[in-house]
Amino acid sequence: MSDRPNPATEARRAAVALLDKVLGEGLLLAECQAQILERLEPADRARAQRLALEVLRALERADRVLEKHLRKPPALFVRNALRLGTVELCSGGAAHGVVNDIVNLVARHRRHGPLKGLVNAVLRKVAEEGPAEWAKLRIPRLPKWLRAPLAQAWGAEAMLAIEAAHYQGAPLDLSAKPGADLTDLGGVLTPTGSLRLTEVGQVSALPGYAAGTWWVQDAAAALPARLLNVQAGEKVLDLCAAPGGKTLQMAAAGADVTSVDISEGRLARLQENLARTGLTAQVVVGDVMAQEGQYDAVLLDAPCSATGTIRRHPDLPHAKDGAGFGALIELQAQMLAHAWSLVRPGGRLVYCTCSLLPDEGECQIEDALDMFPDAVIGEGVKTMPGIDPAWITEEGGLRLRPDYWPEIGGMDGFYMAELIKSEA
């Protein structure tokens, strides 16, 4: 008999390791998954990621089911293993396979192996009683540090709808080259023109990937470049460009694009996508604040809290506590002021963030309109296809939320606005 570990067990072991990093060390999945998953086969890597994401989305429910079967919370590794088993059992997982696998996972742990009996007893109880309890539990809520400001901004009813969207997760959206035929992919077109897929296997195996006819980009993230509406031959600057979806959109429109980001590693993905799609842009590893020159159009996707992407990144509320938001907001204001200096007279700038916090969106543009006497708000949001007029904000920007388009799977939270510079 082979001593090779069962692939399903290894995927679950990796998922628990990811949970330990997020819930124990406050790391984001993006910061730790490469090292943890590097030895797994692609299918097992994908399964481990999926399991970790499912547990993080359902963490409140899992803990509620488990608390009646535990006198006190066990060590984090054991608790995360129990959480994983609970989520699987309450989501239709086969009891025998799930329980045995989680018990074996704990049994093989050098320190916590003696707790395998506890794990076995608890999960067998969960297998019997958990699914019925699970169905009665509320949609998991965001941590108070984040829920409070979002509820204040959007109201209690909207907050519940946003949390429901987070719990559902996110489909896969694609942006395509102009004129590309994506009918072989199936899916549905969103109101703004992105192609949305709900059943996705390996992305690189989808029709058109190798030919470079499309790239992955959430429908909301595709709108800032559409708002900027670059024309062929225009000199365009994409600031904080990685991973590069907006650069690809503008390059596909025929613009002369310079893409700047401080992360060489993240820009590598852009370079790969440029090569795959056959598009061209000048890629610069550098600080936004060090850029010089004059451009017809500038797009600034400023560093932010990323609170608009929680439906795809449920680790974020557990890995952060809001402590750095003040510094981010100050940095956004500095970047916006510098980006404005790079816009030629008569040119335009689109500012955007994937945040649900008005301080990172609406408030920044209100302040910019007060600070920049040569700036007026653009009217492009009023004519963009697929935009509900109710999404246009008082100062003239566009506010998107995860609970919009609930019938087709929602969208990321985003804010964007266009500023036009006077000729004088």
CA angle (198, 244, 39) in 5-degree steps: 65
CA atoms within 13 A on the CB side of 274: 21
> Do residues 353 and 413 make contact, with C-beta atoms less than 8 angstroms apart?
no
Q: Can 354 be counted among the known catalytic residues? A: yes
Rounded to whole angstroms, the Cα distance separating 348 from 190 reads: 27
- C-alpha R_g of the chain: 23
Q: Considering only CA atoms, which of 97, 102, 129, 130 is closest in space to residue 115?
A: 102
Given the residues 240, 304, 354, 363, the one annotated as active site: 354
Burial class (CB in 10 A: 0-12, 13-18, 19+), 42: exposed
CB 353: neighbour CB atoms within 10 A?
Answer: 28
Q: Which two tokens stand for residue 32?
A: 């730790």
* Strand, helix or coil for residue 69: coil
Taking residue 50's Cβ as centre, other Cβ atoms within 10 Å add up to 13
Q: Which element (helix H / strand E) includes 248? A: helix 245-252
- Residue partners of 127: CB distance under 8 A and separation at least 6: 89, 95, 98, 99
Give the Cα separation of 15 and 80 in Å (integer).
Answer: 9
CB 259, CB 270: distance < 8 Å: yes
Return d(Cα 277, Cα 244) in angstroms, integer.
Answer: 12
Burial group, residue 346, by CB count within 10 angstroms (0-12, 13-18, 19+): exposed
- At 145, which helix (H) or strand (E)? helix 144-154
Tell me if 87 sits within 8 A of 58, measured CB to CB: yes
**CA–CA separation, 330 and 327 (whole Å):** 5
What SS3 state is found at 281?
coil
Q: Are strands 256-261 and 343-353 parallel, antiparallel or unpaired?
A: unpaired
Give the DSSP H or E segment for 421: strand 414-421
Q: Which residues are catalytic?
A: 354
